[in-house]
Amino acid sequence: MPAYDVLIIGAGLAGQRAALAAADAGATVGLMSKVHPVRSHSNAAAGGINAALNPEDSWESHAFDTVKGSDYLGDQDAIEIMCREAPDEILVLEHLGVTFHRDTEGRLGTRAFGGASAARTYYVADITGQALLHVLYEQMMKYHEKVDSYEEWFVTSLLTDDEGRCTGVIAREIRDGHLELFPAKSVILASGGAGQAFRPTTNALICTGDGIAQAYRIGAPLMDMEMIQYHPTTLAENGFLITEGARGEGAHLYNAEGERFMERYAPNKLELAGRDVVSRAEQVEINEGRGFEDGTIALDITKVPRKRILESLREIVNIGRDFAGVDITREPIHIRPGMHYMMGGVKTDVHGQTTVEGLYAAGEVACVSVHGGNRLGANSLLDTLIFGRRAGEHAARRAREVAMPEAAFSRLRDEERWIESIIAREHGGRRVSEIKLELGTTMNEKCAVFRDEEGLTEALEIIDRLREEAESAWIDDRGTVFNQDVLGAIELGFMVDCAHTILLGALERKESRGAQYRTDFPERNDDEWLKHIDISRNGAEPELSYSPVTITKWQPEERKY
Amino acid sequence: MAEFTLKIRRYSPESGEGPYWESFETELPGHRSVLEGILQVKDRQDGSLAIRCSCRAAICGSCGVKVNGKPMLACNTHLEWAQSNSKDGEITVEPMGNMPVLKDLIVDMDAVHWKKIQRITPWLLPDGEPPEREYVVPHESMVDVTQSMACIQCGACVSDCLSMEVDPLFIGPAALAKAYRFVGDPRDGQHEERLRDLAEDPHGIYDCTHCFFCIEACPKGVAPMSQIMRLRRLAGSDYEIDDRNNGHRHEQAFVDNIRKHGLLHEADLLPDSYGGKLHPRTVPELVDSLPVITRALLRRKVTPQNALLHPHKASEEVKRIFEKVEGRPERLEFNLYVSGTEDDPDAPGPEDEQGPHDSGAGADGQAQQAGSGPQKKRS
């Protein structure tokens, strides 16, 4: 039975960075993921990674942009740490071999990005996330004797002891279906967001909120769950992402009347305002009848020189061609706001520690909170790396002070029976896929760019019904080898928990801030709502509470772009 | 909406039975992907159908399969394209080749693909301590290696590699493209060691037979074979690595042979690969090759007259090609990301020197614009 000082769940950027840091600090490390590490969703972050590395730039400026971008809901102590440590992190990655874009002098070059007062986004064409992920995986291959990699292992539950501490995980090897117990001194969740609770979404099929729900189920509070980012440029039909890098390189947005409407909404930053601002503007144009017939807006990249597009936006050339039948170098592409990112997640401190002892979280699964009400483009890769590393270092230090927990074999047998009971369910109720579809469309309809009490309440009722239906939802596969069906049933349960807490938060926050826009409470209300909403579950029912926003240097101001 | 029939190769190791074909009907617009068709089958008809997939947008590299016998990503292959390219209107989907099948469309990539990646020492090996800030390296070199960084490790090239079918130990297209990512990276300090390793390995760079299948199969324009050829040019011409496999000399013999005769002159090729007819190594090689030579003569692939008295002489056109290519101060290499286009007056080569890189899967044969970028010649 394998036991680790540090066991990391999820092998995207946050997980791999944590593994590297923990191994460097001398801990024994296990890295576990339900997919091969290079299939992780960090791949999809195309545009770049922010850092104030240029001598004319400053971390304070980066931090202020992030605070303002968060609509003042981000915790400024955490934001300061992230922005201060960003330049060194970029250099670490550069030294490891990331093929960052260079300027004509051969030094690191930048591109512009939304909500930023300087061009501070470092990038590799429009495959930045992919390049970072694959270079980190190169390091994992180099560290193959120091880090045990469990590829295609699915964590079903987190383990706790009588004192409520996290003591490891139970996981199923997907390839042969057997369950195993993994005791660990510390567990770091790095398993990403829950985008699949929405449909459409830019998120990959694996983004089913596993870690968020697992932490919630053992009593860890979730924070800022209502803050769901809708990305301004996603393809209408399937929700695929067109990188913000396109606008960073100079692409414009037009409504059906040919008007560059961002001039009205954000006269200074135009297309490069905060994502919530641009998405809202687009949605207003569409709702008021100035969108195209298919409910979209036009993104015009043709102004960017063709050579530049082919060199630095090649991936969206492919996406336009393969998934929309459009040559983006020659004609505009139709887009609309689409679900993209969760600012909220498992509440952590700046070391990635949750309130459950022995449990850490980093990356999209976590809420530090550095993104507050709205994440800036190119801050997510940074978040994963900075807080992945910090969690790995801290967990490795903790390992020197605590004993290895006992293995809870009785839990393993319970878990086996539970999974067998899912596989054995009679064909009677609904299919898992039907419930998942209704969940996704409900969330996207009622908890999107614009929200109100009526819609959110309706959605909550639907989710309650779906939760019951999910408990008896049936599957086809009765086998053990690559039974993706049974994993889908377990994931559905995770997504229902995530959706439920998202709706609770959105209903509770009676104001409009960042990504949360309540048509029944259209103003930001600092007097009452400059605070986080925490949701935890210790018994059957969720409990809501508030925690203060940490403010260091920057007092809330009106947010204009 | 249109109806498509997906004929899928099924296999369950638990059933005790061999693989079989099963057909499913799906209903989707024709521009939607084969993956979406498969997911619809999973959702509505049979959830036990197994396929790896995640991003749906050709980024994660999970869903490599064979569609109508050719390896590609299911997610960026359009249903209508697949149907019109099928034999009898049924779109066949089966697991990739050259790797063991685990279940349905899932293959064991660890056993083949990742083992080969690990073989090439796939991490940067810089000389000495890193600088205080970033390594200062030419813009072009970073754009250049971006082509191999664009690899998503889907395995499509491995699936179709003919050399690997014959020699399962061949390092293969994906891993060698990954090797170029380090050899082409100026920050790496082990270029020569890496090249020597790959040239001396009997299953290394000279094991590729130039079939172009990997270039055709690659959904990301990585052009693995082109990267292998670049490794060869660097190893043979620039680092003058005289490998024990005779790979470099064999390649040189081809070039010299064409320079001299315009057409391949088989009788010269083999001796020249070993240093000429009088070289001591040539005689035992010729003796070893006697059965092959005999068979070629018996099947009239070669006639004694042609073999000994090659009637061709290189034409003026052939000579001009050699002069032009060899007269350049720098060697030009195809690279997808270093793209000279009509908008760019400073493009390094004239239009006729650019060649199309087929974009591969499901792209209606649309060729991506490719250009030639400068590659510094080492001396």
Domains of chain B by range and CATH? 2-107 (3.10.20.30), 110-244 (1.10.1060.10), 247-326 (no CATH)
End-to-end CA, chain A: 55
Name which of A57, A210, A310 to mutate to probe chain B: the one with the most chain B Cβ atoms within 10 A of its Cβ: A310
What is chain A's length?
561
Mean pLDDT computed over A406-423: 94
Which chain B residue lies closest to A319 (C-alpha atoms)? B57
Q: Which residue has the tokens 């032009």?
A: B324
Tell me the average pLDDT of chain A: 96
DSSP H or E run through A485: helix A484-508
- Successive 10-residue mean pLDDT values, chain B, 379 residues: 96 96 97 97 97 96 98 96 96 98 98 97 96 95 92 98 96 98 97 98 96 96 95 94 92 89 81 79 81 85 73 84 89 68 41 34 34 34
Q: Which of A100, A141, A321 sits opposite B123 (nearest CB)?
A: A141
Distance from CA of B344 to the nearest CA of A (A): 7
Range in A188-197, A244-253, B22-31, B285-294 the model is least confident about: B285-294
Q: Which of A189, A181, A298 is nearest to A247 (CA)?
A: A298
Active-site choice (A275, A509, A524, A537) = A275
User: Facing residues of A431 across strands?
Assistant: A474
* Residue carrying structure tokens 């193959």: A144
Q: Which of B125, B146, B180 to mutate to test the interface with A (most CBs of A within 10 A)?
A: B146
Q: Is the pLDDT of residue A8 over 80?
A: yes
> CA B146 to CA A311: how far, in whole Å?
9
User: Do the beta carbons of residue B364 and residue B340 sit within 8 Å?
Assistant: no
Residues of B in contact with A143 (CB under 8 A): none
Report the pLDDT averaged over residues A381-387.
Answer: 98
- Residue A29 backbone phi and psi in degrees, to 5: -130, 135
CA distance B304 to chain A (A): 53
Task: State residue A135's pLDDT score.
Answer: 98
Number of H helices, E strands in chain B: 16, 11
Q: Which residue of A has its CA nearest to B81?
A: A322
- pLDDT digit string, tens, across residues A63-120: 999 999 999 999 999 999 999 999 999 999 999 999 999 999 999 999 999 999 999 9
Q: Please give the Cα distance from A174 to A158 (Å, whole number).
A: 17
Does residue A559 have an active-site annotation?
no
Res. A218 pLDDT band, cuts 50 70 90: very high
**Closest chain B residue to the Cα of A177, Cα to Cα:** B14
Residues of chain B contacting A433 with CB distance shorter than 8 Å: 42-44, 47
Residues 6+ apart with CB under 8 A from A467: A496, A500
Q: Is the Cβ–Cβ distance between A228 and A212 less than 8 Å? A: no
DSSP string covering B50-78, please? ------SSSSS---EEEETTEEEESTTSB
Average pLDDT over residues A206-230: 98
Question: Which of A107, A321, A433 has its CB closest to that of B43?
Answer: A433
Strand partners, B333: B373
Q: Check residue B314 and give its pLDDT.
A: 78
Q: Give the distance from residue B219's alpha carbon to the nearest chain A alpha carbon, in angstroms.
A: 10
Contact state of B139 with A102 under an 8 Å Cβ cutoff: yes
Mean pLDDT of A230-251: 93
Interface of B with A in 220-239 (CB under 8 A): none
Q: Which of A106, A321, A322 sits opposite B136 (nearest CB)?
A: A106
Nearest CA in chain B to A150: B110
Q: Which amino acid is at A555?
A: Q
Q: Model confidence over B337-356: pLDDT tens digits?
A: 665 443 444 444 333 333 33
Q: Residue A94 and residue A514: Cα distance in Å, rounded?
A: 33
